[in-house]
Structure 1
Amino acid sequence: MHTLSEENYLKAIYRLSQKSKKITPTAIAEVLNNNTASVVDMLRKLTDKQLIEYDKKSGVVLTNGGLTHAVLIVRKHRLWEVFLLDKLGYHWDEIHEIAEDLEHISDADLADRLDKFLGFPKYDPHGDPIPQSDGKLPEIYSVTLADLEAGGKCRVAAVKDTSSAFLQYLLRLNIGIGTQIQLIEKISFDQSLIIKINGTEKTTVSQKFGESILIN
């Protein structure tokens, strides 16, 4: 049995491992909004439980047991987000915080039953891949709207920024997963983007906006 705090650390380490080969206490502290000293203390506890291996030079690595548990937490979180949006009618800017609590419910069959009930979704409402029961992930999108050449067309595959402020901004622009976007022009002065949404609405967005949208 692991504490809520331990599970949050395992999830943070797992998510960082998707982006970087070396995971440092500083990086974990930034994700969890904690101080580095507290992070190092928790890393010792996780090491004692054989959930991670930690070396100052090579950083933090999940053990097989730690990885299995971290993947399950992420799997439950993303399945709960689908449930909250599709079955309970929450908006996509409301579901993350609720799923943060629900992901810690400990039940051996819960994730699999929820997955079956939802029809085995591959992605959560923000476009993040949902780990399968064997830990495998569907395709992970890495190309952003900012990477697109002027004149190119794409569809929104996922969002990197899942803050309520950004998701609410997307709602105002009528942008969601699957929305078609055409990049009309990149402004050389500040790299802002002129885009057309679903072939009709034209608007200008910032470079930061473009870097926060993953496309396919």
Structure 2
Amino acid sequence: MPSPAIDDYLKTIYHHTEWQSVLITPSQLASELGLAPSSVTEMVQKLAAQGLVSHRPYGPITLTAAGQTRAAAIIRRHRLIETWLVGEFGYAWDEVHDEAEVLEHAISDRLLEGIDQRLGRPRFDPHGDAIPDASGHTQREPFVLLAAAAPGHVGRVLRVSDRDPEVLRAVEAAGVTVGAEVRVVDAATLRIADAKVQLPADAVGAVWLSA
């Protein structure tokens, strides 16, 4: 049955390993959701009983095939809505997350399909995150986190995390956009064309480049 609470858990687990490979632990999940560890432990047990996650006591949490399918479906809704709000209503990329959080549980499958069709079946949202297709599949090229990129690395900006709206605004103010070709000078400095761009310290862990 539809449940925003369950969907939030599954989305958070899905997000955690999209751009890195370390699995999420119950304590990390509690921190991400802003909930008490005891509440998270209880919900994870329920999700495991429903066949949506796999988890052993004190171990990491992984999505089962069913959990992955359900998480991808809600992620698809969220990211299509974000893309729609930016493209059709002029929202800035730092404004869409909270709106999408509400609308993802409210719109019908028919409307979602209409949005997808109108937007031309986009593969990525405004932040560079992959939008799962109707089957739950995504396509993503090899990537490197800016903080881990070597000086001299040349690549395109693939993704800017939408976790912190202030970081999004700072990155945009610096002239860094998804798709921009950059050269890494150091972790906080990029060269775009002939210009040097200085990023705030928080941005080095929020920007991903093509590898």
The normalised TM-score by structure 1 is: 0.85
SS, match of residue 177 in structure 1: coil
Matched, 1:154 2:155: yes
- Counterpart Cα distance in 2 of 1:69 and 1:119: 23
Larger radius of gyration: 1
Which residue identity does 1:101 align to in structure 2? V
> Any residues of structure 2 matched to 1:28-177 within 5 Å, and which?
28-56=29-57, 58-105=59-106, 107-177=108-178
More displaced stretch, 98-107 vs 50-59: 50-59
1:122 Cα deviation (Å)? 0.7
More displaced stretch, 204-213 vs 163-172: 204-213
RMSD over aligned CA atoms reads 2.3
Aligned to 2:11: 11
Of 189, 193, 196 in structure 1, the residue corresponding to residue 191 of structure 2 is 196
**Do the aligned residues in 2 keep the contact of 1:141 with 1:214 (CA within 8 Å)?**
no
CA shift digits 1:179-200 (9 cap, x unpaired):
23223x33xxxxx543323x24
1:106 Cα deviation (Å)? 5.8
**Do the aligned residues in 1 keep the contact of 2:10 with 2:67 (CA within 8 Å)?**
yes
The normalised TM-score by structure 2 is: 0.86
Unaligned runs of 5+ in 2: none
**Do the aligned residues in 2 keep the contact of 1:23 with 1:59 (CA within 8 Å)?**
yes
Unaligned runs of 5+ in 1: 187-191
**Do the aligned residues in 1 keep the contact of 2:174 with 2:198 (CA within 8 Å)?**
no
Distance 1:204 1:62, change over 3 A: closer
Which residue identity does 2:189 align to in structure 1? I
Q: How many residues align structurally?
A: 209
Matched, 1:210 2:204: yes
- Counterpart Cα distance in 2 of 1:133 and 1:154: 29
- Counterpart Cα distance in 2 of 1:62 and 1:110: 27
Identity %: 32
CA shift digits 1:101-129 (9 cap, x unpaired):
11112634443332212101111000001
SS, match of residue 191 in structure 2: strand
